[in-house]
Amino acid sequence: MKKIFLAAFAALFAFSSCVKDEMYPYPTIADISNTIAYDETEDVTVTATVTAFVDIQEVNLFYKTGSSAAQKVKMTASGSTYTGIIPAQPMGTEVTYYIEATTDGGTTTSPEGKYTVGVIPIDFTPLKLNELNGNDKFIEIINTGSAPINIKGIKIFKDTKDVWTGPNRELAAGAFLLLYSEDVTGAGGKHEGYDSELVFTSGLSAKKAVRVQLTDPVKKDLDDFNLVTVSKTAPASYSRVPDGTGKWFFTPATPGIKNSTDNTDPVTGLM
């Protein structure tokens, strides 16, 4: 009798060991992010990590604007990272989107994401004008914050005229960004061949009243140097002392480095 029981148990064990554990059939969607639409010319790239215990059949991005029907974009894979492109939309457009991933076992839908074209989720307020020089024709910007800032889309206005727009690059915390006038970067100029993305399209005088404004991409003021009365020709630079936070003084030129505290003389005539 004992031998019969053991044989039956062995047969049951052999049968049960042949039955595979069922895999969880649904995909997982995580780490969803999108790039920024600075203006109406910018496509937006949406990425996500999609994984599953079984084969993934397809991953699609759905987006809509206003009351329009959702548009579908097939996402492409690089390993477990999937990418889809939402085409450029007019300024001010609110875009909502979600992702659907499908396997043989079912479909998973992500939570909804959204963005508004031209609304930039970056704090630009640590960016300040730091040094202006009408003799050597440069404008210096400083990042007074504790984190890098992508300066894409920020603007310089000279006497209310738009003369420079920031390129797609980061300015490190505490770092200086040096812009030169086109007057000194052209052929034969003192700074010929200077990085073309850091050249502003106007002159800069040490003898005349001048207004230089720094704005974010939607033209909200970050800083404003408005000299309405010229008390004397600037011997070198108009500089903030201390850097980024202090008042304006006449100082020796210090392009791209910490402002001098030597021979400082307060700048009068500022609004």
Q: Provide the pLDDT for residue 198.
A: 98
Q: What is the pLDDT of residue 218?
A: 83
pLDDT for residue 115 is more than 60: yes
**pLDDT the model gives residue 263:** 66
Q: Is the pLDDT of residue 22 over 90?
A: no
Q: What is the mean pLDDT of residues 112-119?
A: 94
Fold of 28-116: Immunoglobulin-like (2.60.40)
Q: Grade residue 15 by pLDDT with cuts at 50, 70 and 90.
A: very low
Higher pLDDT, 24 or 209: 209
Tell me which architecture the domain covering 127-266 has in CATH: Sandwich (2.60)
pLDDT of residue 21: 55
Range in 6-20, 29-43, 210-224, 251-265 the model is least confident about: 6-20
Domain with CATH 2.60.40.1260 in the chain: 127-266
Q: What angle do CA 267, 269, 271 make, to 5 degrees?
A: 110
Q: Which residues pair with 69 in a beta bridge?
A: none
What is residue 271's predicted lDDT score, i.e. its pLDDT?
Answer: 87
Rounded to two decimals, the pTM is: 0.73
